[in-house]
Each structure stands twice: as C-alpha cells, then as structure tokens.
Amino acid sequence: MIGVSVLGSTGSIGVSTLDVVARNPDRYRVVALTANTDVDGLRQQCLRFRPQLAAMADEASAERLARSLQAEAPGIEVLGGEGGLLAAAEHPEAGQVMAAIVGAAGLMPTLAAVRRGKRILLANKEALVVSGALFMREAEAHGAEVLPIDSEHNAVFQCMPGNFREGLERVGVTRILLTASGGPFRERDPASLAAVTPEEACAHPNWDMGRKISVDSASMMNKGLEVIEARWLFDADPSRIQVVVHPQSVIHSLVEYADGSLLAQLGNPDMRTPIAHAMAWPERHASGVAPLDLFDIARLDFEPPDMQRFPCLQLAFEAVEAGGAAPAILNAANEVAVQYFLEHRLRFTDIPRVIAHTLESLAAGEPDSLDALLHLDREARVLAERFSATQV
C-alpha cells in the first residue's frame, strides 16, 4: 500500500485524486489531507478516507475542523497554518504527495516534500514558475521523483523517450507542442473583452477547474505558465516550445522528433487520467475516465494562438526568455491581478497591463537563493497591488 498526502484536497485536482484513490483501494491509502478554509469539505473527506493528519492553512478553520471531528474521528490529528501544511507534505508514511495547492502558496510545502525524497505529483505549476532551477536542483539532490499532473505536461511526459533527461537534442526531440483550448474567449470580439465578468471568464468550455485557473485559461496565462513549467520539467530551451490552439482538448500535447514523427497523447478532458498515470507510473490502472470515442469527436482543429487577443501569453514567453526572476515576478503580478478581477476591482483587459507594469518596474536578476526569490515575489505583489488599485 502506498501512502498518499493530498495538498489542496478540496480543490478540483484534490477531489479527482481522491476519486482515483477510492477506485484503487488495494494500492493506496490516504495519510494526510490539507485545505485552505473549506472546513466542511475537508471534514467530509476526513470521515471518508480517515487520514492520520488533516491540516488547514487558515488556523481558525483548523480549530473549527478539530472541534467538528472530535466526536466522529478523534484519532485524526488536526494542525493549522504553514506548519500543518509542511507536516502533511513531509508525512513519514507518504510515498506520494499530490501538490495541488493553487498559486505560489504551494511552493514551500511542495519543496518540503521534495527534500524528503517523495514522489511529487506536481499539479502546482507555480512551484516551477517561481523557482524552476532551484526546484529541479533540490529534486535531483534529494532523489525526489517529479511527475507532472497538468494534462499537457503529463501528455508530453508520456510521449517522451524514457531517457529524455540525457538531453532533448541527444534523444532526438526537436519540439514540444503544448495544446490549448483557447478558453471561453477564443472567438469573442477583442473589443468586448474589457467588459467580461468573472463568471464569464470562469465558464471554461471543456474543463472543470477552480476560479483562479479558469481566469488564467481565459487569458491564456495558464498556457504561458505551462510554457515556463515545461522549460524546467524537460530541460527544454524556450525556443523549442510551441503553443497550439486545439479547441476540442482531445490531444493534450505532442512531441516532435528529428525524424519528422509527432507523438501525441489523446483522451477525454478529465484530470483523472494524468493523475492515475502519475500515481501508477510506470504501470497503469483504472482512473474512472471513459474511453475516447473518435467517431464521436469526428474532427480535430488546430490554429496558432492570437498574441494580440491574449497578451498574457506573449508576456509569459518574454519572461521565460528573460530568465532569472522574471517568471516569478510575472506569476506574482498575475496572481494579484486575477484576484482583483475576481473581486470586480479590475477589468479583464487590465490583467496584462498590471503584469507588464510590474515586470518593467522590477529588476529580474538571477536570485541566488529561495529567500531572494520570495523577497522578489513579495515586492512584485506590492507593486501589482498598488497599480491594480489605480485602474478602477
């Protein structure tokens, strides 16, 4: 039996992970669960999966959870704050850690799991966006396996040769093609985008995701962050990474080889497929996802991304080319801008303006430590908040 810690268990990735666990009870047992403030959601998961540890980032929520579990599940230890998240990530009986906390808040718990040499099921792309070089060095130093959960990166992983870490050029890989649905605004009049609401931005045509990730998908920043993540996961030069808009979301990504071959991974748009793949790798087991019916799909369309309609994607490419702390600054500014937009305090089209202003205002040198990166992250957030507050 493999012990599993799920960081961010009440979010969409966490819920899907627990569904895969429930379908394979002879393989996995849950040892730790974490959430931010969703006391009721975590309580229900605790009663069903009986972890040894439950942690909440919000300490007041942790106290409420402890009281609610006192009668029905007194054996579950409940912790609060960052210390609780770290305890869940480092749990001695967890062989696998699902890193599904959204945003930069997931960086420290994920790194803690890396330093314990766990198998990291990486759904938190910001960990690599913020600290890519440092993160991968830590993984190598501590013998941690980092397996991608994003459907695109998992697809690339499935299409790569087993020895890809020897160098993409050496193994004949010429390009990574990350597919993108184009989100809800792929065909919308660009002149109307300033008026879109958070509800419209969160209405993704193919995927059921959290609100922050849904907005990122609508702006295509999500794809930009994935470009940065792919650069580190596969040690790929940014010039070898291409984004392809594929509205059906059936081909999850492709890998091009020197002989002209393109290998692709196809499947229904359901996160349980990459989750089950990474949990079982190098084996396969049930995920609960229905097989893809090619006759039902009938057609597959592809188009280049419109960088004028989606300036966030262009900003992400520029940040990964610039290197250093630019991706961390980009990510921090985006998180602030998206939150302002979700709170109806910023227009959708102001999101890239906030990011561009923050990137222009901070020197993106090469930070020599995690502390230096986190300091820049805080500076970027302050700048982004000040600028966002002036836009309405």
Tokens of 251: 């081909």
pLDDT surpasses 70 at 204: no
Cα–Cα distance measured from residue 318 to residue 297, given in angstroms and rounded to the nearest whole number: 35
Do the domain assignments include residue 33?
yes
55/144 same-domain check: yes
pLDDT surpasses 70 at 191: yes
Q: Report the pLDDT value the prediction gives residue 369, as an integer from 0 to 100.
A: 86
For the chain, give the mean pLDDT.
94
pLDDT tier at 197 (50, 70, 90 boundaries)? very high
Q: Region 310-334: what's the mean pLDDT?
A: 95
Q: Which of 92, 123, 148 is the last residue before a domain boundary?
A: 148
Q: Which of 88, 113, 148 is the last residue before a domain boundary?
A: 148
pLDDT surpasses 90 at 230: yes
Do the domain assignments include residue 349?
yes
Q: Region 221-236: what's the mean pLDDT?
A: 96
Domain at 361, CATH number: 1.10.1740.10
28/91 same-domain check: yes
- pLDDT tens per residue, range 344-376: 999 999 999 999 999 999 987 778 788 888 899
177/103 same-domain check: no
What's the pTM value of the predicted model, to 2 decimals? 0.91
Least confident interval from 87-96, 207-216, 277-286:
207-216
171/256 same-domain check: yes
208/224 same-domain check: yes
pLDDT surpasses 80 at 210: no
The helix/strand/coil state of 28 is strand
Residues 318-342: b if buried by 16+ CB within 10 A, e if exposed: ebbeeebbbbbbbbbbbbbbbbbbb
Domain at 139, CATH number: 3.40.50.720
pLDDT surpasses 90 at 34: yes
Which structural domain, as residue segments, surrounds residue 166?
156-268+291-297
- pLDDT tens per residue, range 137-186: 999 999 999 999 999 999 999 999 999 999 999 999 999 999 999 989 99
Beta carbons within 8 Å of 282's beta carbon, 6+ residues apart? none
Do the domain assignments include residue 283?
no
Other CB atoms within 10 Å distance of the CB of residue 92: 8
Cα–Cα distance measured from residue 149 to residue 277, given in angstroms and rounded to the nearest whole number: 9
Q: How far is CA 322 from CA 168, 225, 310, 316, in A?
A: 21, 14, 19, 10
263/353 same-domain check: no
Tokens of 20: 């895969």
- pLDDT tens per residue, range 106-142: 899 999 999 999 999 999 887 899 889 999 999 999 9
Q: Report the pLDDT value the prediction gives residue 240, as an integer from 0 to 100.
A: 96
Do the domain assignments include residue 318?
no
Do the domain assignments include residue 45?
yes
Q: Report the pLDDT value the prediction gives residue 205, as an integer from 0 to 100.
A: 66
Q: Are 231 and 321 in contact (CB under 8 A)?
A: no
6/69 same-domain check: yes
pLDDT surpasses 70 at 218: yes
71/169 same-domain check: no
Do the domain assignments include residue 88?
yes
pLDDT surpasses 80 at 392: no
Beta carbons within 8 Å of 316's beta carbon, 6+ residues apart? 221, 223, 224, 225, 227, 228, 327, 330
Do the domain assignments include residue 317?
no
DSSP class of residue 303? B
176/118 same-domain check: no
Do the domain assignments include residue 313?
no
Element (H, E) at 87: helix 81-89
Q: Are 153 and 277 in contact (CB under 8 A)?
A: no
Q: Report the pLDDT value the prediction gives residue 208, as an integer from 0 to 100.
A: 61
Strand ranges across the sheet with 173-180? 241-245, 173-180, 251-257, 262-266
Q: Report the pLDDT value the prediction gives residue 16, as an integer from 0 to 100.
A: 97
135/209 same-domain check: no
216/241 same-domain check: yes
Cα–Cα distance measured from residue 356 to residue 354, given in angstroms and rounded to the nearest whole number: 6
Residues 142-154: b if buried by 16+ CB within 10 A, e if exposed: eebbbbbbbbbbb
Q: Which of 148, 172, 198 is the last residue before a domain boundary?
A: 148
**Hey, which residues does 173 pair with through a beta bridge?**
257
Q: Report the pLDDT value the prediction gives residue 229, as an integer from 0 to 100.
A: 96
- What percentage of residues in the chain have a pLDDT greater than 90? 85
Q: How many structural domains comprise the chain?
A: 3
65/143 same-domain check: yes
Cα–Cα distance measured from residue 200 to residue 196, given in angstroms and rounded to the nearest whole number: 6
